[in-house]
Structure 1
Amino acid sequence: MNFFQMKNSNIHYFMEVEVPKPAPPVVGKVTHHSIELYWNNQHQLQGYGATDQRLCFSIEEEDIKTHTYGNIYIGYAKQHVVKGLDASTPYRFRLKVISHTGYYAYSPVVTVSTTREPMSGKHLHHAVIKNDVEGACRVLQSGDVKVDILDKLGFPPLMIAAQKGYHRMVAFLIKFGADVNQKNGSGKDSLMLACFAGHLDVVKCLRRFGATWEARDNGGSSALHWATDGEHLNVIEWMINDDCKVDVTDRHSLWTPLMQVAALSGNVEIASLLIKAGANVNIQDKMGKTPLMVAVINSYDNLVQLLLKNGADPYVTNEYGTSILEMAKSFSTENVISLLEEFERQ
């Protein structure tokens, strides 16, 4: 063996035998997505001269699939926070200490598990969307989440459940303290959304727990306005029997539900139900328009006929003095014009 072979052999022997093995990194704060490791005490680095700033450190993490280690940190600091980890998952780390001469040694492996991810609003909203009452119960019982927490669109869980027609979920959330009259950014509450979607069982449940017919959204519309927009006859009938006012007006245009039917759908069945319940066929909005005028403008000939049969005044003029027949000749079909002309001849 020549000199260089002897020298290399001695270095190899020294690196494997003489370099002291450091203690494992100490585990600090552990969360569901991070683990703090540090190695800044004399005991861990005994034999290296812990005050020697020329020591270099490397933290290596085991790949659970290949059982090999890869560097996740290398430098001169004496602590490192491993981030971006999965919740409730074990991880294995070892410390590598490198002297200024290039000698190094590995510590024993330390195994650390991240904590369970804390419950949050997204867990509750996810359970509600899936109609998972048991899952929602687990989230709320954790104590980490409020029952009225909003999602990114400003909807509380109760509003989502009401909109989707999840009656059992609605009842559960209310019993857990959900506010039945809470509104979203547009001023709508759960009752309005349930009425628009036609979920009668949810409407009944919300009313039973204190939801009010008097609420208005930012546009001034009530739950009955939304029910007529959704064209749900059974819901509207139940609302009327539950003492919901049929001539309730919005705050902006002073439109009643009957006026809204004349403007949007022309639904004769809904209009008949409202009229039978006492809706005023000659009520005027902020601009002086009546339901008949609006129905004429939209060419809803069946609705025009219904309104005329139930006392709608065809001689009312708008704010500009224009008669309904004149409006019909500008906007409507021949059917509507004929209905009005025939009515005038009677």
Structure 2
Amino acid sequence: MPSSKPHPPVVGKVTHHSIELYWDREKAARRQGPQEHWFRFSVEEEDPKMHTYGVIYTGYATQHVVKGLEPRTLYRFRLKVTSPSGEYQYSPVVAVSTTREPISSEHFHRAVSVNDEDFLLQILRGGNVKVDVPNKFGFTALMVASQKGYTRLVKILVSNGTDVNLKNGSGKDSLMLACYGGHLDIVKYLRRHGASWDTRDLGGCTALHWAADGGHCNVIKWMIKEGCEVDVTDTGSRWTPLMRVSAVSGNQKVASLLIEAGADVNVKDKDGKTPLMVAVLNNHEELVQLLLDKGADASVKNEFGKGVLEMARVFDRQNVLSLLEERKKQTQKNSST
């Protein structure tokens, strides 16, 4: 072994998660004979807490890439050179920092998800991430901000050119998500920037269907005032928003609002069911009462010749059945007088 210490490893390419090291290529170039006559190299990394070194590579190569590192972190390495006779020497230590993690779409969506306005602006100024890149669930940043009610982020994203009419995998756009979430300020803003009431998701539902599902009267009231069609039907079951209320939530306030705006209480779906039948099947007792008060016809039959009383009996809706029978008696009494 020469008396002088070996040179420290030379630093090659450095990223946010890896460091390339190489060393004594001249010595390797002079190799002759079998491998046991060659110099062997070991790269050791310092444990910053224990101030001890552990071997991360040993062999006859003159290069090693250290992987799986943390971004923006200082690492210290030294080289151990062992002669064929077993003598060894250590090089001086080389210290090198990994780089900052590059901004990715994951950072972009994380900033939106946690409502981090400053970080979002920083990312958008950097220009490395497309504003409409979807997350792993197929949602754009605008969809997430609209769903969560992050008004300022919505405005930032729109001003940076996001497409307000993009849809996710189920066909929902940002307007539908804002309507379902009850975020009226965002609904208004999206409408001003080109979002349409008429857009449909894969089930054929519109923004008003989703507003009805969400149960937000202030949003529904504004939508109707702005000219949204109250009896718009989906393309599957031919359900209106009132039908959705009868099926999903049974929300009386939403139903009253829709009816006051002109929703047809006796509209039929593709199977001939009315909102009253759907409310009976889903056991929404108070909504059944409201629909009857608003003129729902309890004598209507569906495509299979079944009426609401039969449905209530078959599905054992006892409270609803009592209500319907009481109404029937009252109607018969009134007609006889």
Same fold flag (TM > 0.5) = yes
Q: Does 1:134 align with 2:114?
A: no
- Return the letter of the residue paired with 2:263: A
Give the unaligned 5+ runs of structure 2: none
Offset of residue 235 of structure 1: 0.8
CA distance in 2, matches of 1:343, 1:148: 58
Q: What one-letter code is carried by the residue in structure 2 that aligns with 1:74?
A: T
In structure 2, the residue matched to 1:336 is 324
Q: Which residue in 2 is equivalent to 1:103?
A: 87
Secondary structure at the aligned position of 1:72 is classed as: strand
**Aligned with residue 101 of structure 2, among 110, 114, 117:** 117
Structure 1 residue 40: deviation in Å?
4.9
TM superposition shift of 1:142: 2.2
CA distance in 1: counterparts of 2:96 and 2:256, whole angstroms: 70
Instruction: Report matched runs for 1:269-308 at 5 Å.
Output: 269-308=253-292
The one-character-per-residue Cα deviations of 1:157-181 (angstroms, maximum 9, x if unpaired) are 2221111111111111121222212
Paired letter, 2:84: H
Please say if 1:267 is aligned against 2:256: no
The 8 Å contact of residues 112 and 144 in structure 2, kept in 1 or not, is answered as yes
Q: Mean alpha-carbon deviation: is it higher for 236-245 or for 310-319?
A: 310-319
Equivalence for 1:85: 69
Distance across 1 between alignment mates of 2:178 and 2:329:
42
Pick which of 115-124 and 136-145 moved more.
136-145
Gaps spanning 5+ residues in structure 1: where?
1-14
The 1-side partners of 2:48 and 2:310 are apart by 82
Q: 1:10 maps to which residue?
A: none
Counterpart of 1:143? 127
* Equivalent pair of 1:299/1:333 in contact (CA under 8 Å): no
Report the CA distance between 1:321 and its aligned residue.
1.7
Kindly report which structure 2 residues correspond to 1:159-308, keeping only aligned pairs within 5 A, or say none: 159-308=143-292
Q: CA deviation at 1:246?
A: 0.8
Question: For the aligned residues, what is the CA RMSD?
Answer: 2.1
After the TM superposition, which segments of 4 or more aligned residues of structure 1 sit over 6 Å from their partners? none
1:49 to 1:168, Cα distance in 2 relative to 1, 3 A: closer
TM-fit CA distance, 1:291: 1.5
Identity of aligned residues (%): 60
Counterpart code for 1:339: R
CA drift at 1:183? 1.8
Report the CA distance shift for 1:343/1:260 in structure 2 as closer, same or farther (over 3 A).
farther
